[in-house]
Amino acid sequence: MLYYIRDKEYIFCAQEPKADISNSLAMAFEDRYPVTKGHMLITPRRHTASFFGLGAPEQKACLVLVERLKALTLKKDSAVTGFNLGINDGKDAGQTIMHCHIHLIPRRKGDVADPRGGIRHVIPSKGHYP
């Protein structure tokens, strides 16, 4: 029964019927405010705030969808040359919707002037290294 906990107050629980791609424990849909074209969100079906609160089967189900979406994105868009994969886990890490979700963000050559460091720039003054 643990895997069937939902809270329709949260947008991701309410999105369940509208998922673009899914499996028994996870689902994925387009980000409403995409960083790049093709930005997707992968969420467990069960309502829980933290990735670290997921059981191993749920984590695996989410990662299976990450792999499927990566393959589909590369098939649809030959301009995609990389990806950022990220999880904001907790309010102080920038999480604003307290339902676990993984961002899969397609990247294209030249989409930013200097992509070096990628997610390290989440704290801008700490992102650079020699």
Catalytic residues: 101
DSSP characters for 31-61? -SS-SSTT-EEEEESS--S-GGGS-HHHHHH
Tokens 């992968």 belong to 42
Q: Please provide the distance, in angstroms rounded to a whole number, between the alpha carbons at the two ends of the chain.
A: 50
Residue 84 CB-density burial (10 A; 0-12 exposed, 13-18 middle, 19+ buried) = middle
Q: Name the strand (E) or helix (H) holding 63.
A: helix 56-76
- Tokens in use for 94? 């920038």
